[in-house]
Each structure stands twice: as structure tokens, then as C-alpha cells.
Structure 1
Amino acid sequence: MKSYLAAAIQMTSTPELENNLAEAEDLVELAVHRGAALVTLPENFPFLGKEEDKVAQAEAIATRSEKFLKTMAQRFQITILGGGFPVPVDSTKVSNTALLIDPSGTELARYQKVHLFDVNLPDGNTYRES
């Protein structure tokens, strides 16, 4: 079996989609320059903010995230996994979706999170996946 280097990127996402994608791009490039052939981005890599903002911006987040992942895969000739990001289900719900993209920019797999949870965090943030 052929071996390869995988990179698991960590980042602190914010409610600023374009800033998050710019940071992710820098980190993907760094991983590739260090030899990674498979790069994984964390859950919520393109957006982490208030639930109502996530739902309101879900279409833009989903569209930009898919394009970003395909662009990164093709540009750097890597396989890339985009951890969960919101994809609209209807006007009030989103699906936490992860995509696996090959070096040609083709979608290999799409996973929609099925084990959903709700939580109220001590810092005041609330997450309602269910």
C-alpha cells in the first residue's frame, strides 16, 4: 500500500466567511508545501457564529465553501476534506455537511451529519442542530 502525508488543519473560525476562507487557504498551502497529499479542514471552517446568522447566510456559505474546496484540490493537486459547513435544507434549517474532493475537483463523498445535538454553552453561545 502506498503511503502519503495527511494534514489535519486546526483554525479558529469566526462569523467572517471570506476571512475564514483566506486563513484556510494559507493553511492548506502551508500543509501542501510540507508535503501533504490529503488535507482536512475542521468542522465549521468557513463560518462559526450565531445560529440565526448561519441560517441566514447558509446559501452563500455552502456555495463559497464548495467552490473553495474544489479550487484548493485542483490548484494544489490534493485530496481535501472540508469538515462540516451549513447547507440549507429549508428557510429555517441547515444540514451540517462535509465534502471530500479529489485532485481533479470531483466530489468523492458527501456526508450529512445525522447525530444532531443541542447545547447552551457557558459563554452564551447556543447550538441547535436538531
Structure 2
Amino acid sequence: MSKATHGTLVAAVIQMRSGRDVAANIDAATQLIRQAAADGATYVQTPEMTNLLERSRADLFAKISPESEDPSVAAFSALAAELGIVLHVGSLAIRTGADKAANRGFLFGSDGALLARYDKIHMFDVDLPNGESWRESATYQPGGEALVVPVAGTLVGLGICYDIRFPALFRAQAGAGARVLTAPAAFTRQTGEAHWHVLQRARAIENGAFVISAAQGGRHEDGRETYGHSLIVAPWGEVIAEVDGDAPGYALATLELEKADEARRRIPAIANQRSFTVVAPRGGTAGTEAAE
């Protein structure tokens, strides 16, 4: 685990209602990012699929581009440099082939340089009780690398949306020293109402980490509804910033980074973690190795 360091990070979550027009989505995000930066934010995070929410596969591929040609990547890199902020674009739809894409997050430094890119690992392939059905893996290629990135004197773990339901990912990042965890999202209204707050708070509590999750909110042009309620959660589990409701906007909080170290001293769950063996009912076994 990384050595404890003091300091603060002024973080903002941007809540959007991205539609089918990439240029309009870039403009909407840019306006809110500028407002958050003017309000003092030095780290600003946007939601999953900042550049486009489009259920039609044909229309999606007609509008997205490879990373090197994507207008969102260029625009947000330039904006980070102009404002002198760390800009975490929660994710963009990026073309990776003729019929495949990546759900890819980007972290830009205050000089506009690309610090990291993260491809969402866990694909949202579910059938919900209200009849909604999603097969993210039909369009997007999953990533395979969990990232922990230095940002402003601390370490930040990158995640996206459905990743929040897989605690092993965030425990591994926390074990590698991350004091800030992230899960920018486009949670459905149904799953958000049931689970959004408790999942964010659980990941914070069990890892003694801040959790920052910008979200999409409201009814989108492609017909879907997302939950909103962009959050920043402190390491003891309290919500310290929230965009209340589903309307576009932003919320801001000052993260006292020592609070993560303090939470881990109080309850050293990461340090106390042990390896164990699972014994299945039929006699099968599966070994697991705990992160140190």
C-alpha cells in the first residue's frame, strides 16, 4: 500500500443527458466542465458515454470514430490544458473495428496529455424485470486491465458503471494503493433506484476510499432512462456531494485525502485480508488469493 500523504483534491462530478448528436454532447459537457473548474475543481469527471448514447447499432457505428480521429478526445484534451485541470472523461464510445467498439475512459492531465485510457471490463448483459434487455458485449469489446493512476499526489483507480458490482476489482485497486475509486456511469433508472447509492457507499466503506461517480440522468433521445444522482462518497461511507435528481448539472467536494488513510487505520480490512479456499457443496474447491 502506498505511504500516507496529506493533501486535498477538489473534485467535481458532471451529470449529463447525452443524446444522439456527438457535437452537441461535447458542447454540453464543455459548458458544465467550465463551470465546475470556475468553481474551483481541479479534478473533473464526466459520465459514461459522454459523447453519445445511441441504442441503434447501425446509428452508433455511423457516428463513432477510432480514437485517433475522435473529436471528443481532441476537444477534451484541449479543454483540460486550457483550464489546467485533470479531466476524467468517464467514457466515450470508440470504434475499434468495422463492427466493434470500446467503452473507453480517458484521463487527461492539466497539460492536456493523456495519462491513461481504460476499457470497461464488465459488460452489462442483463434482462431486467421491467422488460429492459441489454447486451453490451454484442457491441463493445471488454478490457482486461485494472488501472491505478497517479493523480495530484494520490492514486486513482479507474472503473466504469457495471464494474461497480464487482468488488474484487476495487479491492485490488485499493490494495495497490488507490485512495480514490471511480465508476462513472449510465445506470438505468430501475437499477439506480434500487442499488446506486448502496453500491457506491459499499465500495467506499469496504476499501476505505473515496468513490467518485458521475452519471447520466433522465430520458435520453434514444428512449432509455438513466438514474442520475452523480455522487462523491467519503471513505467512511458518507455522501459528501450529490447532484440531486436526474437533471444535468454538477456537484463539487473537497477530498481530504488523509481521510482514506484514517479509515484504513480504523478498520484495516485490506491489511487483514487473508487467502482462503472455497469448498463447494459437491466437493469441488477453488483457491483464491487475497490482494495484499
Shared fold (TM-score greater than 0.5)?
A: yes
Structure 1 residues 75 and 37: CA distance shift in structure 2, 3 A: same
Which position in structure 2 is the counterpart of 1:26? 31
Tell me if 1:114 matches 2:118: no
Name the SS for the 2:17 alignment partner. Answer: coil
Query: Which residue does 1:79 correspond to in 2?
Result: 86
Secondary structure, counterpart of 2:88 in structure 1: strand
1-structure distance, mates of 2:70, 2:21: 15
Give the deviation of 1:2 after TM superposition. Answer: 2.1
Unpaired segments ≥5 residues, structure 2: 1-5, 138-292
Q: Which has the larger radius of gyration?
A: 2
Of residues 38, 41, 44 in structure 2, which corresponds to 1:36?
A: 41
Q: With structure 2 as the length reference, what TM-score do the two structures score?
A: 0.41
Output the CA distance in 2 between the equivalents of 1:82 and 1:123. 30
Aligned to 2:62: 56
2:66–2:96 Cα contact (<8 Å) kept: no
1:102 aligns with 2:129: no
Q: Structure 2 CA distance, aligned partners of 1:17 and 1:120?
A: 28
What count of residue pairs does the alignment treat as equivalent? 129
CA distance in 2, matches of 1:34, 1:84: 23
CA contact (8 A) 1:51 1:128 kept: no
With structure 1 as the length reference, what TM-score do the two structures score? 0.88
Gaps in structure 1 of 5+ consecutive residues:
none
Q: CA RMSD in A?
A: 2.1
Amino acid at match of 1:69: F
Percent pairwise identity: 30
Residue 8 of structure 1: how far off its partner (Å) = 0.6
Deviation at 1:60, TM superposition (A): 6.8
The runs of at least 4 aligned residues of structure 1 exceeding 6 Å deviation read: none
Deviation readout 1:84-125 (Å, 9 max, x if unpaired) = 11111211110100000001111111100121123467587x
